[in-house]
Amino acid sequence: MLEVEKISKKAGDFSLKDISFTVSPGEYFVLLGVSGAGKTMLLDIIAGLIKQDSGRIMVDSVDITHIRANKRGTGLVFQDNTVFPHLNVHRNIAYPLVGKGFTKSEIHARVLKWAETIDITHLLDRKPASLSGGELRRVAIARTLAMEPRFLLLDEPLSSLDVLIQYDMMRLLKKLHQSGQTIIHVTHDYNEAYTLADTLAIINSGRVEQTGPPAEVFQHPASRFVSVLAGIRNFFTGIELKKCDGLWGHTIKEGLTIYSSAPCSAGCSIFIREDDIKFFQPGDPAEVNVFDGIITDIIPSPDFYTVVVDAGVNFFVRVANADMKAMNLRSGDKACIKINPGSVRPV
């Protein structure tokens, strides 16, 4: 088990503050955050490449904070691959095995084993300069796995790869995870995190904002930042809270109050999923949370449209492709939206 305990580090204007989390054996742990959030620095600290100002790192209750990088046994795959350009793929994968008491044939057997696992046996004699970005990433992963690390640290492993290769790489990472490899993966991509993670930690400005299973984190974002990462754009902070007929009224702007059925406390925020906002149809019963506005933008995507309705604040409404044709919505049209109080979730 890896325990990161209250790690702090100041570097220029940026600092990591009291970062703590635990990674269990066999777990796929994803650190999700935007660029500059401190994800890479944190991986470097876990790998022993950067010394933290305070806090400690424990492996199975043993403090490894002061153990040098080359003795830690944590495998780090860098974002820029760092495959040695002067060695061919075979010698790159063999690198962590040389000088560790293995015979030449044992080294060759291990190189073959990992090359087969990562599906790069056909590249073994090639020099890195002749490899594509996806192939280089695979070589870097195979080389790190050859040292049989207890923890595989991956720094943005899917970035700067084209979509098809990303999919292959994602399958490879799932396969490694299923084989029991403990993985700590940092990314800025919400979909990647959601697809791969057993446990997710959201990191923002050097702090962990929320930790938990991805579904739980994204269903119940603890902050505006987490909701933005989860793709939730209907996130509002109330300026006044009042209780009325069993509902909680959040005034988010002068003259605009959204009611929720879930109890809240003063100063709390609310969010509404885009597919929980509906267009008010003639004949629908008048309810609470009905707002008139103007359609300011219609954003297409392969599966649905996102319609932006300005009703004093911008509401983002998801409309299925088929419904869109029937409703004949156009930018500049007047529109009326409704929100079920049960869909208004407090944070």
- Residues in contact with other proteins by CB under 8 A are 44, 47-49, 68-76, 78, 80, 82, 84-86, 95-96, 99-100, 143-144, 147
User: How far, rounded to the nearest angstrom, does the alpha carbon of residue 310 sit from its chain's CA centroid?
Assistant: 30
CB nearer other proteins, residue 70 or residue 103:
70
CB-nearer residue toward other proteins: 52 or 234: 52
Residue 281 φ then ψ, to 5°: -100, 145
Structure token pair of residue 171: 């399958």
Q: How far is the CB of 306 from other proteins (least distance, A)?
A: 39
**Looking up tokens 């923002």, which residue turns up?**
204
Residue 93 beta carbon to other proteins: minimum distance, rounded to whole angstroms: 10
In angstroms, give the least distance from the CB of 50 to other proteins: 10
Q: Cβ closer to other proteins: 115 or 329?
A: 115
Nearest-approach distance from CB 319 to other proteins, in angstroms: 46
Which residue type, as a one-letter code, is found at position 104?
Answer: K
Nearer to other proteins, 78 or 236 (CB): 78
Nearer to other proteins, 73 or 134 (CB): 73
For every residue of 172-202, DSSP letters joined together read HHHHHHHTT-EEEEEES-HHHHHHH-SEEEE
Do 172 and 141 touch, CB atoms closer than 8 A?
A: yes
Q: How far is the CB of 2 from other proteins (least distance, A)?
A: 15
Question: Which residue, chain included where needed, has tokens 């919505």?
Answer: 329
Concatenate the DSSP letters of all residues of 249-279 into one string: EEEEETTEEEEESS---TT-EEE--GGGEEE
User: Residues 72, 131, 30, CA angle at the centre, nearest 5°?
Assistant: 40
Euclidean distance between CA atoms 108 and 106, whole angstroms: 5
For residue 334, the minimal CB distance to other proteins (Å) is 56
User: Is 99 or 282 the residue whose CB approaches other proteins more closely?
Assistant: 99
Give SS3 for 326. helix
